[in-house]
Amino acid sequence: MSKTYRRIVLASRPTGWVMPENFRLETLPIPSPGPNEVLVRNHYLSLDPYMRGRMNEGKSYAQPQEIGATMIGATVGEVVASHHRAFTVGNHVRGMLGWSEFGVVNGKALERIDTRKIPMSAYLGIVGMPGMAAWYGYHKILAPKAGETLVVSAASGAVGSVVGQLAKLGGLRAVGIAGGPEKCRYVTDELGFDACVDYRGAKDAEALTQALRIAAPKGVDAHFENVGGDALNAVMNLLNPFARVAICGLISDYNNERGVVPHSAIRNPAVFLVARIKMQGFIVSDHLELWPQGLTDLGALLVAGKLKFRETIAENLARAPEAFIGLLRGRNVGKQIVKLV
Ligand SMILES: NC(=O)c1ccc[n+]([C@@H]2O[C@H](COP(=O)([O-])OP(=O)(O)OC[C@H]3O[C@@H](n4cnc5c(N)ncnc54)[C@H](OP(=O)(O)O)[C@@H]3O)[C@@H](O)[C@H]2O)c1
């Protein structure tokens, strides 16, 4: 085994769009685990939109990432050395070891994963944090009933693809919003949504509303928002009385420079009153007590062949910055992963 490993640190904070020079690749000696610690070789790294917020200076719902520190990130991998009684060499584990090929961590911060029926990388997506965000927003905020219509934006992505499939399993009409015909074809033909609106193909906000009106002819009862902006405003125009809106993410604003009016600003607040709407944001890590239930549920559906997923995989840690910028620009289909081994 090599005596060194590579990691990527935050070199500088972006203003606006993330650039490759905001990251730095470093080579370090592989550390030895201390008491209760475990050395893990990471096989896959998850790239997620929330990382963009951590690159900013100010506190959001979480503390910012420090300059010079390993970029934050969920990982799955294999135990290489263990001084913790719950782990032995060869165990497959999930942790938050960051953009790094190896990591040493207290065993308390690791979780065993069972890769006999579910591939290791899926523990970063459909049976990981993004799947859990879909499960939580769908069941605990939208709580839709069979026969209702649900819309989800970024429908081909890690979270959105699960939301729409849960809706189909629940007997709803599932409508996706996605960027481009290829993503929309994936959403309807492979994931089984009833319709998908390509927002990039709509010439203006009115055309987008019109396309959504056709895709959701009975109006919208439940909306799962991942993006914000024109699509959110278009869906707001179509909400039925007592509709629920779950705000999971507003990715179209994550690369704004400070002080810019959010692209996601809601243009017609009267709809809250007229249609008696409930809108609620959530952060999935606030609900850790529900993760065992949600992830067991999702895992069972996956193993039974009732949920599908796709991954966009970048090979090699050095390509993580480029893949992360691609995720923020919508180049991924499904879960964006970096393969490290
Ligand atoms: N609240 C929580 O706890 C929680 C947890 C996980 C994720 N999230 C949020 O959920 C959303 C989806 O996350 P994900 O991991 O599933 O990502 P993802 O959907 O796999 O990837 C991001 C997608 O966003 C779409 N997008 C739409 N407009 C965009 C714009 N203006 N700029 C960039 N991308 C745009 C792109 O798809 P199109 O090409 O289809 O537009 C892109 O592929 C994000 O907002 C994320 O922050 C929240």
Using the predicted structure, report yes or no on whether residue 257 has a pLDDT greater than 80: no
Domain boundaries, the chain: 4-125+310-339, 129-285
Question: What is the pLDDT confidence band of residue 292, given thresholds at 50, 70 and 90?
Answer: very high
What's the confidence (pLDDT) of residue 261? 66
Are residues 144 and 168 in contact, defined by beta-carbon separation less than 8 angstroms? no
What's the confidence (pLDDT) of residue 255? 84
- Any atom of ligand 1 within 6 Å of the Cβ of 183: yes
Under CATH, domain 4-125+310-339 is a member of which superfamily? Medium-chain alcohol dehydrogenases, catalytic domain (3.90.180.10)
Question: What is the pLDDT confidence band of residue 234, given thresholds at 50, 70 and 90?
Answer: very high
Of 330, 341, 335, nearest to 312 (Cα)? Answer: 335
Q: What is the mean pLDDT of residues 253-282?
A: 86
Mean pLDDT of the chain: 96
Mutate which of 17, 153, 227, 327 for ligand 1? The one with the most ligand atoms within 8 Å of its CB, which is 227
What is the assigned CATH class of domain 129-285?
A: alpha beta
Using the predicted structure, report yes or no on whether residue 260 has a pLDDT greater than 70: no
Distance (angstroms) between ligand 1 centre and the Cα of 91 equals 31
Using the predicted structure, report yes or no on whether residue 134 has a pLDDT greater than 90: yes
Q: What is the mean pLDDT of residues 141-157?
A: 98
User: Which residue's structure tokens are 């550390």?
Assistant: 31
Q: Order across the sheet with 278-281: list the strands.
A: 195-198, 173-178, 149-153, 220-225, 239-247, 278-281
For the chain, percent of residues with pLDDT exceeding 70: 99
Q: Which two tokens stand for residue 40?
A: 């893990």
Question: CB-side exposure of 100: number of CA atoms within 13 Å?
Answer: 26
How many residues would you count in the chain? Answer: 341
What's the confidence (pLDDT) of residue 263? 74
Mutate which of 159, 247, 260, 282 for ligand 1? The one with the most ligand atoms within 8 Å of its CB, which is 159
Residue 158 CA: nearest ligand 1 atom is 16
Per-residue pLDDT tens digits for 34-88: 999 999 999 999 999 999 999 998 877 778 999 999 999 999 999 999 999 999 9
Per-residue pLDDT tens digits for 182-196: 999 999 999 999 999
